[in-house]
Amino acid sequence: MPALRRAGIGTILVLALFLCPVQPHADTEVPLFSVQRPVCEIDGSSTAEWRSIIFRVRQRDADTASVCVATQNDTTGLIGLAFASLALQKMESAGTYRSIFLGRLIDYEWLSGHLATHAANDPDWSTAAGTTTTGERAEAYVQRALAQRSILDPIDEALKPYGYRSRGFSCEKAMVSGPDTKPFQPAWVAADKRLPFDALCHLTIETMP
């Protein structure tokens, strides 16, 4: 498997990014920002119809495994950038947002790494079978594993200036490591264990009381 390369975004994203054109993916989507990185592009948009902010991470080289959003600060920086762009475009009052679509966890090293590490040390997860020991669905397990204050508290700090707080994660299409996924497994997944490491996830949010 190709070596993973870090591509940290950093905690400060310049306002010039607001001027970068972003192609909306639906008639109801409004472009917010575009971040250009050496190994990837990150586009942000919003849709009032679904009350959602959307992040799309695109790898420049589909044949190379690269880390685009490496750290917690990278992610909170994107969240802050999205809401600052909404304010700049005077769209923050267009409706109450209910979620931030992150996309694939594998594009967020700190989240995917947390998930795999948590499962590797959790008696509720069988590293031999690649399933929960309780019969819980893998997607529900992913949501529960990510619902840790160490993950949500920094996100809440990024949301607080805009009057929001996190409620947790909503995930689907969880992926568990194994022979079929070995070519795509990141470095933080142990080769000799079957662990959850990827899923499509929304961060669910709500307005603060």
Residue 186: which residues within 8 A CB-CB, separation 6 or more?
4, 65, 67, 106, 109, 112, 113, 197
Q: What is the pLDDT of residue 183?
A: 67
In this prediction the pTM is 0.83
pLDDT in tens, 83-119: 999 988 876 555 689 999 999 999 999 999 999 999 9
For 21, list phi and psi in degrees, rounded to 5.
-70, 140
What tokens does 2 get?
Answer: 């190709």
DSSP state of 183: G
pLDDT given for residue 201 in this prediction? 98
Q: Where are the alpha helices (DSSP H) in 31-176?
A: 72-88, 109-120, 138-146, 149-159
Query: What tens digit of pLDDT does each residue of 18-40 get?
Result: 334 444 454 578 999 999 888 88
**pLDDT greater than 60 at residue 14:** no
Task: State the Cα–Cα distance between residues 8 and 58, nearest whole angstrom.
Answer: 15
